[in-house]
Every structure is written in structure tokens, then in C-alpha cells.
Amino acid sequence: MDNLPLILLVFLLAGLAKGVIGLGLPTISIGLLALVMPPAEAASLLLLPSLATNIMQCAGPALRPLLRRLWPMLLALLPGTFAGIGLLTAGGPLALGLLGAALVAYAVWGLAAPPLTLNARAERLSAIPIGVAGGVITGATGVFVMPVVPWLGALGLARDALVQALGLAFLAATVALGLALAAAEAVTPATSLASLLALPPALAGMWLGTRLRGRLSPLLFRRLFFVALLAIGAQLAWRGIS
């Protein structure tokens, strides 16, 4: 694959972001790789790195309580992803524009950081709709953040539990995306090999980011991350409509 050096560098950077702030691997990797390849191909490359890093992230003492609490939303991701996958695999300007719009929306939310809080009843009522909506966006763009990440942030979870919950949601979305891409025959031997080769730099980046977490300002890093994401998303959206 001609773009292999770029792919390895992108996953190193994406893993670094995930190690520092607990998210960013799919958004950075798809956002940057979609500048040089179709979004569906970029999405298929992130499957193994995302699977491995999110298994690591969701492990911990709160795993069982989180599963009991979040399973309706997690389960709803699967049909939503299958419903949206046709837009991603179709490629073309529409797929690129949707990906750019999703990244811009996520970046705006991240920079604004609106204080959201859900009570227990609102959580129960919104879990399945949020999961379906998140699945549709995952299938259509390959990015599994909106509206799941803001919803998880509104549940009032402790910091460590929230990091685990994010890992759990990203893991479920990765599995759903992988199944949907495989059903659409968008996963090829070449992309599978490239995804496997991208795994070591993603893990190395995550390890480095975890080590740097205590030395960097997470707030500053988060702001820089979302500003960069906003620029990437705007570029992709412009390509999609121009």
C-alpha cells in the first residue's frame, strides 16, 4: 500500500491523543486518512487498532456495572450502524461531506463543552434512540462519537468510570462497524493487512499518551485536539460540497 508510512504516522498520533484524553483514535485516523483515500477504506483500516485500544480502555472495576447500565444503548448501535453503512460505502462527495459535518459537529461540541445532565428517567428513555442515532452516524461516517459521547458525559459518571464507558461504547461501535463493513464487502485483504500493521503504532501512541497524561495539561490538549478536528472536518466538508 502506497500510503503505508502515512497510515502508520496517523495511527501513532491518534493513539497518542487517545492515551492523553481517552478518545480521538477514530476521529483523527478517519479524518486525516479521508484526505487521501475513500472514507470507507479509512474506516476499515481503523478496525483492529480501535478494537485493541478500546479493549484496553474499557477494562477495569466498573466494567460490569457499566454493562448493566449501558447495554440498551450499546445494543442499539448495531442496527443503526447497518442502517447507515450504505452511505459510507457509496463513497463520493456525500460520504466525504457527511464525515466532515460529523467532525465539525463533534469539534464544536467539544470546544463549547455545554453542561448537560440527565436524570435516571431521561437516561432510560433516551438510551435506545441515542444508540440508534449513534449507530447511523457510525455507519454513515465511520466516526463513533456523536451523539453518544455527549450522552455519556451527561450521565454524571466519575472520571475513571467515564473513560471506561467511552472505551466500552467505542468497542461496541467498532464491532458494529466491522460487521457492517464486512457485510458490505468493504473489508479487503489489503485493508486488513494495513489495519494489522497500524496496530503497533496505535498501541505505542496510546502508551506514550498515557505516560504524558500527568505531565501535560489535559484541558489544553483537549482544546488543541478539537481545534485540529474542526479544521480537518471543515476541509472534508468543503471537499464534499465543492
Instruction: Reply yes or no on whether the pLDDT at 142 is more than 80.
Output: yes
CB 44 within 8 A of CB 188: yes
Q: Where does the pLDDT of residue 110 fall: very low under 50, low under 70, confident under 90, or very high at 90 and above?
A: confident
* Model pTM score: 0.89
For 206-220, how does the pLDDT look when each residue is reduced to its tens digit (9 = 90+)?
899 888 877 777 778
- Vertex 42 angle, CA 73 and 105, to 5°: 55
Say if residue 241's pLDDT is above 80. Answer: no
The residue ranking higher by pLDDT, 58 or 73, is: 73
Q: Percentage of residues in the chain with pLDDT exceeding 90?
A: 50
User: Which residue type sits at 33?
Assistant: L
pLDDT exceeds 70 at position 1: no
State residue 4's pLDDT score.
Answer: 87
User: Cα–Cα distance between 149 and 143 in angstroms, integer?
Assistant: 11
pLDDT value at residue 236:
87
With 70 as the cut, is the pLDDT of residue 174 above it? yes
pLDDT, position 35 = 86
Residue 212: per-residue pLDDT: 83
Highest mean pLDDT among 53-57, 70-74, 205-209: 70-74
